[in-house]
């Protein structure tokens, strides 16, 4: 097998039959469920268990990330929302209307990210409004993580179903 054949096999645009796509999907959801509001989840467990400096570090990191997210929303939120809607619309149209498989695959990665951003923003807003401290803060972060994990399970399931459909449909009898 030549180098060109090896590279073209690794960079196959039939995404749902490519192992790298599924690895990227797993890494994406693993990362999203570990970093809640930009804070590694192990910090929540450590802060809850030991308190003291660990709790103060968690509060500081959450405060910094929540303030940063709210600043971005207030300064450029409308523009970012418009750009995100445009990109998602283009991907959905290319993928599901015109049948471009790579666009379908990217859409099934990016659309759930927009939902995770909304969940994170809602949690950040709730933390700011309630000025959450200690147990209330921990509960908000844990609830956010649970929602993201449930969203991840649903999205992985839907992506797997669509990927199987595409792989079965492309075969000699389907395509």
The Cα–Cα gap between 63 and 116 comes to 19
Does residue 35 lie in a domain region?
Answer: no
What secondary structure letter does DSSP report for 98? S
* Greater pLDDT, 57 or 11: 57
Q: Count how many residues are written for the chain.
A: 175
Residue 13 lies inside a defined structural domain of this protein: no
Range of the domain at 138: 43-169
CB-neighbour burial class of residue 6 (10 A; exposed 0-12, middle 13-18, buried 19+): exposed
Q: What burial letters (b/e) apply to 120-153, b meaning 16+ CB within 10 Å?
A: bbebbeebeeeebeeeebbebbeebbebbeebbe
One-letter-per-residue 3-state SS of 154-167: HHHHHHHHHHHHHH
Per DSSP (E only), the strands in the chain are 35-36, 39-40
- Is 124 part of a structural domain of the chain? yes
- 60 in a structural domain: yes
Q: What is the pLDDT of residues 129-154, one digit of tens each?
A: 988 788 899 999 999 999 999 999 99
For the chain, the first-to-last Cα distance in angstroms comes to 27
97, HSE (Cβ side, Cα atoms, 13 Å): 7
Number of structural domains found in the chain: 1
Assess if residue 85 is contained within a domain: yes
The pLDDT assigned to 173 comes to 46
Yes or no: say if 104 and 90 are a contact pair by the CB < 8 Å rule.
Answer: no
| pLDDT per residue as tens digits for the range 82-109 | 999 999 999 999 999 998 889 999 999 9
For residue 90, tell me if it sits in a domain. Answer: yes
Residue 96 resides in a domain: yes
Judge whether 127 lies within some domain. Answer: yes
pLDDT at 132: 79
Q: What is the pLDDT of residue 16?
A: 81
Give pLDDT tens digits for 25-48: 999 999 999 999 889 999 998 988
Q: Which residue has the tokens 């970093």?
A: 35
The pTM (predicted TM-score) of the whole model is 0.84
| SS3 (DSSP) at 39 | strand
């Amino acid at each position: 097998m030549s180098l060109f054949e090896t590279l073209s096999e690794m960079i196959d645009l039939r995404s749902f039959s490519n192992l790298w796509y599924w690895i990227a999907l797993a890494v994406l959801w693993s990362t999203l469920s570990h970093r809640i509001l930009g804070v590694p989840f192990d910090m929540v467990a450590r802060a809850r268990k030991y308190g003291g400096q660990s709790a103060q570090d968690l509060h500081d990191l959450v405060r910094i990330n929540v303030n940063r997210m709210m600043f971005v929303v207030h300064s450029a939120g409308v523009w970012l929302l418009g750009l995100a809607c445009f990109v998602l619309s283009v991907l959905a149209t290319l993928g599901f209307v015109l049948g471009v498989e790579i666009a379908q695959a990217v859409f099934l990665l990016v659309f759930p990210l927009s939902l995770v951003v909304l969940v994170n923003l809602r949690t950040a807003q709730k933390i700011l409004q309630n000025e959450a401290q200690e147990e209330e803060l921990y509960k908000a972060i844990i609830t956010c993580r649970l929602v993201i994990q449930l969203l991840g399970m649903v999205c992985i399931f839907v992506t797997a179903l669509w990927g199987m459909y595409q792989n079965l449909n492309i075969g000699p009898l389907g395509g």
